[in-house]
Chain A
């Protein structure tokens, strides 16, 4: 399903990676469109972090290839990539300003440029007063801000955030979301990697679903949703709903007090939602009418059920635990 388009900032082509005991990635191919937010989704242990470590050049792929803007990935791309790992940390006994300067210089920024940008970012996050504080004296929320600044300071074209919202408090999480949207606006591409699919689904333009070292699905979110739509509509209203029609089928119906009802109605092929609406308007007082859109999580489970039924049981246990 993956297509290598010329506008892809990053392409993975048939990437394989195996460790001593297990296979982390088996033949994963992806294309991440330029200036988009890309969700790399899948349960824990699916192989997301392995793929990210290959992209960030911490490890290498056993087979396959990664291309950054059409070029084979090489150390010169380190300056173009920003990475916030799931295991995030800072040097505890180093001052915030010095630490940011050090990390930025390692990413290829000159000392003067780095100093200038650190100042801007600290001002933007309203934490200028912390520059000369030791990291160990900061609260966890403050450290998260510093870590985020360290990730984006060298103005990377590709920003990889592994489990970005885990450990962030709601205020910082919102700040982070705003910054991410702004960065994309300015031309950056962002990869979200997470097992909590609901946390990023409204932000992602495209996604790839990974399960057990394999890609199960990828593409633009809108298209995927359309593809997995079941033509089901939710109806809420007042009155006595008796729905017997050759074009529609009630999937679920609930009667509530004072004559309220809730129903899920599936349209048969060729039937338009307006046909259902027209039918309903004569029978009941319609208060709400909306298409039931499958969540990424539902799509994921459906997709896995179709392609790898043997893994479904442990997936459901995993989801139950979340």
Chain B
């Protein structure tokens, strides 16, 4: 019997995986995602927080150019030659602007500084350049007043806010609410979309089998339960294959796009990644950097690494094992539970258009748990709504997975898993009975009352 189940699952898998639609969809989604990602990066770059390269022609004699501190928005590159040459040069080099510091600048009251840009110069860019100049002048003045570099460094407050969550045992843990929420969201979304995509495929598959009138032939060889579970498992394998391919292809496409985007901004990719992670820290850090170019790069890189370390730290402090274990349990449990129900609907109705009335009560808890999960549970992962939804087997696959990264008491997790398993067994039992009767029932408009009766038919 087990081998028949395997044969059924194998057929379901192979016929689907070899379909043109599967291959096209598998290839198209990462491409679309990639294209989407590329445009997002491009849009982000065209936004003001891309790094603009500004050439500096410094004739002031006060070595002001070296004191201009590069930030995330601006990178200053000193150039030589005359102003006219520099004007031609920056456009050729596709740089974003040219700052001209004329000779004989009065430090107390600087004037005659010119900024050349392409097209309209945005207000944001202008103020960024002004700020850099103000800082450079301030430093120059402070140095002139006899403060040492150490004293200057001391003046800068390097503010970094560390958020810490206290658990029940009083152990302190670093928490990064954003990263935790992100993980919760991603896992829940994955389960949600998987159940929906492939649950509907189960339903349609059963419907096709029924309308092609092959059921009786099949049932004289295979038990209805094996037929149903074989289909559910086979389609799960299709889904996992597709997700895996999407993952690999998206990662590949993502790397290519990141490289493309990296070239576009003429910045090493690592720094780009780091920048978003450590924007606050980098801002503070870079302002302490003084005169030399090397000193500019130093703290920047350091804060970047710091930022990435922080992400890993957050990840490290999350209950990774529990999350992974929970995700697999709830992913499989949720899919099997809903898959059986989708299969039962497919068996109960003759016509695909009749599925609507039975679809609603099944999709409702799924959608509800997703919507509530993304709002109430994410905001208050330990609240009563979160608790109850993570206990009910129909909502727990999504609700509990959202709660997992925030930490869930072990007894709650245990109870929820037990309830999920019970719910799964119960649902499959009900679904198998509806399925068994339904697949051989033709030409009958099925009602809920009818479905109720089917459950008590004898084999």
Q: Which residues of A contact B (CB under 8 A)?
A: 19-20, 53, 56-60, 62, 75, 78, 81, 83-85, 87-94, 102-103, 105-107, 147, 150
Contact = CB atoms under 8 A, between A and B. Distances in A.
Contact of B212 (A19, A84, A89): A89
Contacts of A57: 220
Contact of B458 (A58, A62, A81, A147): A62
Contact of B213 (A81, A83, A87): A87
Nearest to A81: B220
A56 B212 CA distance: 20
B217 A83 contact: yes
A107 B219 CA distance: 11
A264 B209 CA distance: 55
Contacts of A106: 4, 7-8, 218, 221-222
Given A81-B220, A87-B442, A150-B217, A102 B7 contact: yes
Interface in B401-459: 440, 442, 453, 457-459
A107 B220 CA distance: 9
Contacts of A102: 7, 11
Contacts of B208: 92
A85 B4 CA distance: 20
Nearest to A19: B457
Contact of A89 (B7, B11, B15, B217): B217
B215 to A, nearest CB: 8
B131 interface: no
A20 B212 contact: no
B220 A58 contact: yes
Interface string B149-173: 0000000000000000000000000
A78 to B, nearest CB: 6
Contacts of A92: 208, 212
Q: Which of B209, B214, B219 has the most CB of A within 10 A?
A: B214
Contacts, number: 64
Contact of A88 (B1, B7, B213): B213
Given A56-B220, A83-B216, A90-B214, 17 more contacts: A19-B457, A56-B219, A58-B219, A58-B440, A75-B1, A78-B221, A83-B217, A83-B220, A89-B214, A91-B214, A92-B208, A93-B15, A102-B11, A105-B7, A106-B4, A106-B7, A107-B221
B220 A91 contact: no
A24 to B, nearest CB: 12
B459 A60 contact: yes
Nearest to B19: A93
Contacts of A88: 213-214, 216-217
Contacts of A75: 1
Interface string B210-242: 001111111111100000000000000000000
A137 to B, nearest CB: 14
B220 A78 contact: yes
A84 B219 CA distance: 12
Contacts of B216: 53, 58, 83, 85, 87-88
B212 A91 contact: yes
A103 B11 CA distance: 11
A53 B218 CA distance: 12
A19 B214 CA distance: 23
A143 to B, nearest CB: 11
A135 to B, nearest CB: 9
6 contacts: A56-B219, A87-B442, A88-B217, A89-B217, A102-B11, A147-B217
